[in-house]
């Protein structure tokens, strides 16, 4: 049996003899595999792994998800001074299924300072900011505006602030 890039149905039977089926109607791209989000819901999506698939590992899309973008930042404030203590801010996000994520950081005057993620397919997870701008310079002490956008089958955005401090 051969499969095409779209329009095929696959059925899998688990050890408890439950059948899980899905039909894919999209081509994930060159070498990108489909992965199960949840067998309980028979949700399958294109892998978001940088390796394009996750054989022998947890599926890259097997994660929690929400109806709209959720974002938290810790620690806040943080001090990117290289002392090994709170040198990075961690951006944790929960996304709707099949979302592309953008996270950008702006200074208080509205100038783009750093793009952490730029319209990339993502699942819920985290990203870090080391307090450097897009030109790899450490930013000044102050308040920075974080703008995040999740778009796909739905659209949501969040704005937050993070403070860069010194000791």
pLDDT at 112: 97
DSSP string of the chain, one letter each residue: ----SSS-EEEEE-TT--EEEEE--S---TTPPEEEEETTTTEEEE--STTS--TTS--TT-S---SS-EEEEESSSB--SSSSSS-SEEEEEE--SSEEEEEEEE-TTS-EEEEEEEEEEE-SEEEEE-SB-TTSPBPPSEEEEEEEEEEESSEEEEEEEEEE---
In the chain, what are the domain boundaries? Answer: 1-62, 70-164
Fold of 70-164: Immunoglobulin-like (2.60.40)
pLDDT at 24: 66
The pLDDT of 140-154, averaged and rounded, is 93
pLDDT tens-digit map of 10-27: 777 878 887 777 776 666
Q: Which two tokens stand for residue 38?
A: 């949840």
Q: Is the confidence at residue 155, as pLDDT, over 90?
A: yes
pLDDT tens-digit map of 57-82: 666 665 666 778 889 999 999 999 88
Using alpha carbons, select from 101, 104, 134 the residue that is nearest to residue 119: 101
pLDDT at 125: 81
pLDDT at 145: 97
pLDDT tens-digit map of 86-138: 999 999 988 887 788 999 999 999 999 999 999 988 777 889 999 999 999 99
Threshold 0.85, pTM exceeds: no
Give me the phi and psi of 143, to 5 degrees please.
Answer: -95, 135
């Amino acid at each position: 049996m051969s499969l095409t890039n779209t329009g095929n149905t696959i059925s899998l039977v688990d050890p408890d003899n439950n059948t899980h089926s899905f039909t894919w109607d999209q081509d994930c791209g060159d070498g990108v595999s489909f992965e199960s989000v949840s067998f309980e819901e028979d949700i399958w999506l294109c892998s978001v792994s940088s390796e394009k698939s996750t054989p022998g590992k947890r599926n890259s899309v097997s994660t929690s998800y929400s109806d709209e973008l959720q974002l938290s930042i810790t620690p806040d404030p943080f001090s990117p001074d290289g002392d090994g203590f709170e040198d990075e801010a961690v951006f944790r996000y929960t996304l709707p299924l099949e979302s592309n994520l953008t996270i950008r950081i702006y200074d208080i005057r509205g100038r783009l300072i750093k793009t952490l993620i730029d319209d990339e397919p993502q699942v819920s997870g985290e990203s870090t900011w080391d307090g450097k701008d897009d030109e790899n310079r450490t930013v000044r002490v102050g308040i920075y505006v974080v703008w995040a956008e999740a778009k796909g089958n739905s659209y949501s955005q969040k704005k937050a602030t993070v403070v860069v401090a010194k000791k």
